[in-house]
Structure 1
Amino acid sequence: MATTDRQAATLALAHALSAAERGLPVFPLSATKLPALRSPHRDEHPPVLCRGACGLPGHGVHDATTDPAAVRALFAAAPRATGYGIACGRQPHRLIGIDLDIDTTHGNDSVAALRQLALQHLFTIPPTVTVLTPSGGRHLWLTGPPGASVPNSAGRLAPGIDVRGAGGYLVGPGSVTTHGRYRLAPGTAHLAPAPCPRGLLRLLTTAPRPRRSTAGPAPSGRQARQGQGLVQFVRAAHEGQRNTRLFWAACRAYEHGFGDDLADALTEAAVATGLTEPEARATIASAARLTTRRPNP
């Protein structure tokens, strides 16, 4: 292994141990931000659903631990790790990550979107740990109350805002990826993760309620052509724009009165680009809620 690789691995372990000392469960990541250890069940058929019960490493976020000896063992088994993940939703902090992406290509401002949500739902984001990402985005660290389970979501609150909750993880500050280094924002290194505001917590824990389809006339030929165009628009999305394109297309479909009819086709198109079906459904439901609140004049 090259000297630079060894240095990156050594620094990653040091940062991970420091995080573990603060009660944050950690595990090694590769430069692609994925778990650095391969699954011990990768060659088993049929596939085995195991979350670490077998006792072997290689279960991603389920390997996360605060025990220094266990952290060292994980990194020893993953000598090419260049970063570390922090498991969300786990004791004692019950970490919630608000991932604010930057998409200058489509003019999406996730910071402004979060500010608008705060105004609408009467909450304020308190000073808290903030991690700057290589792409120009930021991760806000918040803590959840006992008994609250925050699900992972992508674009559910607004385009460009992803949420990391139970079963998810954040890339820890000091990690090095193929796109650069994650680092603490100036002025936040001394802070502890702040409690999640109640108004925001309600948004994060309330399941979206998709609109019910109502009986009505079949879509016209013009609507069918528009719908096909929107589906193709979603299918052409590249990584980094999948949620944005899906949300935009779903909003246009609901604004023109055939959103429910097109929801399945949009979901299928989004899944084909790499989103999961729950993520796609959540984004479409968010578009439905937005257009319901703000109908066309």
Structure 2
Amino acid sequence: MAITARHTTTLALAYALSAAESGFPVIPLSPTKLPALRSPHRDESGTGGVHPCRGECGLPGHGVHDATTDPAGVRALFAAAPWATGYGIACGRAPHHLIGVDLDITPTGRTRTGESASASAEPTPDSVAALQQLAFQHLFTLPETVVVLTPSGGRHIWLSGPAGVTVPNSAGRLAPGIDVRGAGGYLVGPGSVTARGAYRLAPGSAGLTPAPCPRALLRLLTPPERGRHAGPGGHRGGRPAQGHGLVQFVLAAHEGQRNTRLFWAACRAYEHGFGDSLAETLVDAAVRTGLTEHEARATIASASRLTAGPAGPAGAA
């Protein structure tokens, strides 16, 4: 058992060193996909469980802030965490400015929080269809790029972003079943072994580097700051520019998806603080697709109630 554990850690270090050599900052991960090193400030009182230090103290244990491409630094991190079975790659860092698009799965007969799916499972049709719909609606094509297969049957699509552009982490904001890892987040690297299985490169990914993120997709990943309003020629009532995209998303609904699209769009609008100002426009759009005004208003009211509660934390990909 100990020999197997040491072998797994040795392999994880080897994969991490290879990634670092290619310019990807890495950290050791535990089998739970969390950073393997605990915070050196965990016992300090008065921090409320969160410490502002991001590695300035010089000690390891600051999560993604420990990530490095220096071989000596990588070896030191793994030496301090001999139980590590994988490695994480920091997103948003030079030179690749990595962006991860995580297509989640929902295996038939199981919930997302239930047992793990088989390695042969495919990403849920909802996440694939949602990404295809976004590509069609916003006129972009995903380039040939690195794809990592997850133990649950999902996949991570690796893209590179331009320097100076911050892509935030999000869970389900882009579309149902799609999570995004950007600045401050990390992706589990291929070759890592977790409690649910191994991460591996998809066929054809070996030798590839992350392709540039299409501009139209990048705009979707970097929404305007909350409270920022459209300038001259923008939408009436001072709505943020992304409100137009949400309305178009509702207008593109076919029979069988009208209520779902309206609910999703309304949730995004309320999350970004302009749900009330966009509500009437969403009602009009929903009625044009075939919903009754009563159905549309009830769906938007449900979205308002749901988003009024506290948001849960986004998990690691």
Who is 1:163 aligned against?
180
Once the two structures are superposed, what CA deviation does each residue of 1:247-281 show, in whole Å capped at 9, x if it has no partner?
59959x9864256655575246564xx436xx9xx
Who is 2:63 aligned against?
60
Give the 5 Å matches for 1:28-67: 28-47=28-47, 48-67=51-70
Report deviation, 1:109: 2.3
Distance in 2 of aligned mates of 1:53 and 1:261: 46
Percent of counterpart pairs with the same letter? 70
On the 8 A contact 1:108/1:159 being kept in 2, the answer is no
Question: What letter corresponds to residue 91 of structure 2 in structure 1?
Answer: C
Distance in 2 of aligned mates of 1:160 and 1:208: 23
Would you say 1:275 and 2:293 are equivalent positions? no
On the 8 A contact 2:266/2:303 being kept in 1, the answer is no
On the 8 A contact 1:144/1:196 being kept in 2, the answer is yes
Who is 1:184 aligned against?
201
| Aligned counterpart in structure 1 of residue 87 of structure 2, from 78, 84, 89 | 84
Question: What letter corresponds to residue 170 of structure 1 in structure 2?
Answer: L
3-state SS, counterpart of residue 41 of structure 2: coil
Distance in 2 of aligned mates of 1:133 and 1:55: 33
| Aligned counterpart in structure 1 of residue 140 of structure 2, from 123, 128, 139 | 123
Who is 1:8 aligned against?
8
Distance in 2 of aligned mates of 1:186 and 1:265: 44
Once the two structures are superposed, what CA deviation does each residue of 1:65-86 show, in whole Å capped at 9, x if it has no partner?
0000000000000000000000
Question: What letter corresponds to residue 137 of structure 1 in structure 2?
Answer: G
3-state SS, counterpart of residue 19 of structure 2: helix
Distance in 2 of aligned mates of 1:10 and 1:268: 47
On the 8 A contact 1:250/1:259 being kept in 2, the answer is no
3-state SS, counterpart of residue 35 of structure 2: coil
Who is 1:287 aligned against?
none
Question: What letter corresponds to residue 144 of structure 1 in structure 2?
Answer: G
Distance in 2 of aligned mates of 1:275 and 1:261: 24
Give the 5 Å matches for 1:247-262: 250=267, 256-257=296-297
RMSD value, Cα = 2.9
Once the two structures are superposed, what CA deviation does each residue of 1:179-199 show, in whole Å capped at 9, x if it has no partner?
000000001112111000011
Distance in 2 of aligned mates of 1:259 and 1:72: 53
Distance in 1 of aligned mates of 2:148 and 2:34: 18
Once the two structures are superposed, what CA deviation does each residue of 1:16-70 show, in whole Å capped at 9, x if it has no partner?
0000000000000000000000000001111122111111000000000000000
Distance in 2 of aligned mates of 1:64 and 1:264: 39
Who is 1:25 aligned against?
25
On the 8 A contact 2:98/2:159 being kept in 1, the answer is yes
Distance in 1 of aligned mates of 2:20 and 2:66: 13
List alignment gaps of at least 5 residues for structure 2.
112-123, 228-236, 238-262, 271-278, 280-294
Distance in 1 of aligned mates of 2:208 and 2:193: 22
Question: What letter corresponds to residue 207 of structure 1 in structure 2?
Answer: P
TM-score by length of 2: 0.70
Question: What letter corresponds to residue 306 of structure 2 in structure 1?
Answer: L
Question: What letter corresponds to residue 2 of structure 2 in structure 1?
Answer: A
On the 8 A contact 1:173/1:183 being kept in 2, the answer is yes
On the 8 A contact 2:267/2:307 being kept in 1, the answer is no
3-state SS, counterpart of residue 175 of structure 2: coil
Distance in 1 of aligned mates of 2:103 and 2:158: 11
| Aligned counterpart in structure 1 of residue 76 of structure 2, from 73, 80, 101 | 73
Distance in 2 of aligned mates of 1:248 and 1:126: 27
Distance in 2 of aligned mates of 1:249 and 1:136: 30
On the 8 A contact 2:266/2:304 being kept in 1, the answer is no
